[in-house]
Amino acid sequence: MGLTQTVHDGALLVPLQFGGDLIELAILFLVLAIVAAVAGASGVAGLSMKIAKWLVIVFIVLAIVTFVL
């Protein structure tokens, strides 16, 4: 997917979100955490859950900023 740029009053505007990459990564880390937990690797599962949680938080913040602006 290509990044679209817009010029408005001489300023180059680039959208904060140009794909669903963050949410896809969050789902990937969530699945990794579940698989690691089932396999008994609690350290990997915990780290994967933390990464997934922060990716979802960043996704929500960027979505709110995109909707407001």
Each residue's pLDDT tens digit, 9-29: 666 666 555 566 777 888 888
Output the pLDDT for position 69: 79
| Cβ-Cβ contacts under 8 Å for 55 (sequence gap 6 or more) | 22, 23, 25, 26, 29
Task: Say what the pLDDT of residue 1 is.
Answer: 46
The Cα 29–Cα 45 span in angstroms is 9
Check pLDDT > 80 for residue 41: yes
